[in-house]
Amino acid sequence: MLNAVTCFHCTACFTLQQLSRVNAEVRSREDIIKEKQQFLDSENDSNQEQEKKISLAERMAANLRLQYQDVEKQRDQFQSEVSQCKH
């Protein structure tokens, strides 16, 4: 009978040790997950800022293309006028 009580006591201690190790591992993994989530959030914020900058650059490029087309059209008109004056 003494052996049964001793075994139960040892088993309970062993189980508490296992539980303690498992809890420590869970806390460790939760900390890693929290760090990775913070990194992900930071990267998402950075991506949004980059997307805003890209969008602005694309709009500016579109405006420059339109301005270039207007200038080219004016240049062609002037060239045509100069051509007509030479004849």
**pLDDT tens per residue across span 29-86:** 999 999 999 999 999 999 999 999 999 999 999 999 999 999 999 999 999 988 888 7
DSSP string covering the chain: -HHHHHHHHHHHHHHHHHHHHHHHHHHHHHHHHHHHHHHHHHHHHHHHHHHHHHHHHHHHHHHHHHHHHHHHHHHHHHHHHHHHHH-
Confidence of residue 9 (pLDDT cuts 50, 70, 90): low
> Helix, strand, or coil here: 1?
coil
Report the half-sphere exposure of 7 (CA within 13 A, side-chain side).
Answer: 4
Residue corresponding to tokens 């969008």: 55
Which domain covers residue 14, as residue numbers?
1-87
Q: What is the pLDDT of residue 83?
A: 86
Per the structure, how many domains does the chain have?
Answer: 1
Confidence of residue 4 (pLDDT cuts 50, 70, 90): very low
